[in-house]
Amino acid sequence: MTMEKDLQTFTQIFTALRQDEIDNPLAESIEPEELLKQLDLSLGDEPMEDDAFNENLKALVLKTPKTASNRFYNQLFAGRKSRAILGELLAAVLNNSMYTYKVGGPQVCIEKEIIEQICGLVGYDEGSGGTFPTGGSMANFMGLLMARDHFDPDIRDKGMQQTLIAYSSTESHYSMAKNATFAGIGRDNVRYIAANGEGKMRVDALEKQIKADLADGLSPFFVNATAGTTVLGSYDPIQDLADICQHYNLWLHVDGALGSAVMFSQAHKHLLTGIDQADSFSFNAHKMLGVPLSCSMIFARDKQHLYQSFSNDADYLYQGHSDDYNLGKMSLQCGRRNDALKFWTLWKSVGTKGLAEIVDYQFKLSEIAHHYIENNPDYTVYSKSPSVTVCFNYKEFDPKQLCTDLYEQREMMVGYGAQGDTTFVRSVAVNTSNQADDMLEFFKVLEDFCSEKYS
Ligand SMILES: Cc1ncc(COP(=O)(O)O)c(C=O)c1O
């Protein structure tokens, strides 16, 4: 009966957490040394008695930063989608690994259904495919590896024979640099292309750099476009980049970790125009769709690239069924947790239309925030194109100090970002439990805080 008892404990702790999110929407901000004095996190030889264990666990939960409250604007994820959490809990209980149909059964079919639906939504045809890696960084890594192996299939056996050059904008995610290291490309062989004032990669600057590298005898092979940059939320001009890639025969990967969720929205999917011509793209359902971390996907227009880069024979593992259902042949990992079920439970329950509503609502929250700051001369606005990030400075206040003080004094969790030399506050409008009032309250809290604290 232990599992049943533990589920009761879960419900009790969750109820306490819900109440605490209302009473104290921010966990106390304390230094780790002090936190360790308040919480008993030590592990020892002796078992802990049930009641003490439950109290210990509850204290741990209540002291954890709250990412679902209306004071959390710090990250590209926030909020709580109960149907998705139901799927996550069941995935933990079932504890399948997604490498084979023999072990995953219908869970494998759920993953395939999601991949097929999304491929259809972006205009990929039947030859396309995808998989769920551990996160957006790994999804981008897989895109880079497929591009590398496509450029020179011998690399897989013999290693790098020439200097490959990758292109990405100055605004792109830092996983680009790390992945270039892991893939043997080398960080120095990533060209960071200037972005325009809206944070979008400049196509003219890209082409100029490609020509210069070709003239130097180097081997351009890969362009990383970003659909929803990490700070400004900007969308690179995918169609223009696809044209360049076609002309120079380069692999186009779209890092859509944040922003490819607009594929579900009739109103906003135009931001992805041209994605059907990308060789690969990534998508994090744990960002804009609110599925619990992590829920990431990588898609390839031609799924053979997934097999070519990631499949390996393993007699001990693959013991029956076709490769179509043995998903391990397309993944970087061996054992792989079931990240598909939580997305499927959400999607199944709200339908594709419901996913569109989530995305549209986030843009609406962002619009409300933008409308407020654009019409208030005390604010300077930096996020200029439609996105779910709201970037601004308030009066002359130093954004780093402001965000730190708001956090330390338990007012709000919001972070800062930069474009070039300019640093600003970056607030993220992805929590769909928030109402218009919460967005306005965000600014009220910030303004009241500034007038009390800094006057
Ligand atoms: C544009 C972009 N790409 C990739 C990532 C990495 O995703 P993950 O955190 O799932 O590794 C992020 C994370 O914020 C991102 O903003």
Residue 1 confidence (pLDDT) above 80: no
The residue nearest atom 8 of ligand 1, judged by CA position, is 136
Query: Is the C-beta atom of 143 inside 6 A of ligand 1?
Result: no
pLDDT tier for residue 280 given thresholds of 50, 70 and 90: very high
Stretch 258-276: mean pLDDT: 98
pLDDT more than 70, % of the chain: 99
**Mean pLDDT for all residues in the chain:** 95
pLDDT (0 to 100) of residue 295: 98
Residue 311 confidence (pLDDT) above 90: no
138 CA: nearest ligand 1 atom: 11
pLDDT tier for residue 120 given thresholds of 50, 70 and 90: very high
- 141, 258, 280, best to mutate for ligand 1 pocket (most atoms within 8 Å of CB): 258
- 137 Cα: distance to centroid of ligand 1 (angstroms): 6
Query: Is the C-beta atom of 118 inside 6 A of ligand 1?
Result: no
The residue nearest atom 5 of ligand 1, judged by CA position, is 136
Query: Is the C-beta atom of 175 inside 6 A of ligand 1?
Result: yes
Place of tokens 């204290």: 59
pLDDT tens readout for residues 285-302: 999 999 999 999 999 999
Chain centre distance of CA 369: 22
pLDDT tier for residue 438 given thresholds of 50, 70 and 90: very high
Q: Determine the 3-state secondary structure of 426 from DSSP.
A: strand
pLDDT tens readout for residues 395-404: 999 999 999 9
Residue 218 confidence (pLDDT) above 80: yes
In order of 129, 187, 218, 360, 455, the CA distances from 211 in angstroms are 32, 20, 10, 40, 54
pLDDT more than 90, % of the chain: 94
Query: Is the C-beta atom of 257 inside 6 A of ligand 1?
Result: yes
- 232, 255, 387, best to mutate for ligand 1 pocket (most atoms within 8 Å of CB): 255
Query: Is the C-beta atom of 294 inside 6 A of ligand 1?
Result: yes
pLDDT tier for residue 346 given thresholds of 50, 70 and 90: very high
Query: Is the C-beta atom of 296 inside 6 A of ligand 1?
Result: yes
Query: Is the C-beta atom of 258 inside 6 A of ligand 1?
Result: yes
pLDDT tier for residue 324 given thresholds of 50, 70 and 90: confident
Stretch 158-182: mean pLDDT: 96
Pick 316 or 2 by higher pLDDT.
2
- 136 Cα: distance to centroid of ligand 1 (angstroms): 5
- 75 Cα: distance to centroid of ligand 1 (angstroms): 10
Query: Is the C-beta atom of 76 inside 6 A of ligand 1?
Result: yes
Query: Is the C-beta atom of 173 inside 6 A of ligand 1?
Result: yes
- 138 Cα: distance to centroid of ligand 1 (angstroms): 9
Helix (H) or strand (E) holding 245: helix 238-248
Residue 434 confidence (pLDDT) above 90: yes
Query: Is the C-beta atom of 260 inside 6 A of ligand 1?
Result: no
Residue 8 confidence (pLDDT) above 80: yes
Angle 405-407-412 from CA coordinates, rounded to 5°? 110
Helix (H) or strand (E) holding 164: strand 164-169
The residue nearest atom 15 of ligand 1, judged by CA position, is 230
pLDDT (0 to 100) of residue 312: 78
CB within 8 Å of 343: residues ≥ 6 apart? 84, 87, 114, 285, 289, 291, 295
CB within 8 Å of 300: residues ≥ 6 apart? 128, 129, 130, 146, 279, 280, 306
pLDDT tier for residue 455 given thresholds of 50, 70 and 90: confident
pLDDT (0 to 100) of residue 57: 97
Residue 279 confidence (pLDDT) above 80: yes
137 CA: nearest ligand 1 atom: 11
Stretch 134-157: mean pLDDT: 97
140 CA: nearest ligand 1 atom: 4
Residues 199/203/208/211 CA torsion (nearest 10 deg)? 130
Strand (E) positions, 275-366?
280-284, 296-300
Query: Is the C-beta atom of 289 inside 6 A of ligand 1?
Result: no
pLDDT tens readout for residues 92-117: 999 999 999 999 999 999 999 999 99
Query: Is the C-beta atom of 230 inside 6 A of ligand 1?
Result: yes
Angle 133-139-143 from CA coordinates, rounded to 5°? 130
Asked if residues 247 and 192 have their Cβ atoms less than 8 Å apart, the reply is no
Angle 216-218-223 from CA coordinates, rounded to 5°? 120
Asked if residues 253 and 144 have their Cβ atoms less than 8 Å apart, the reply is yes
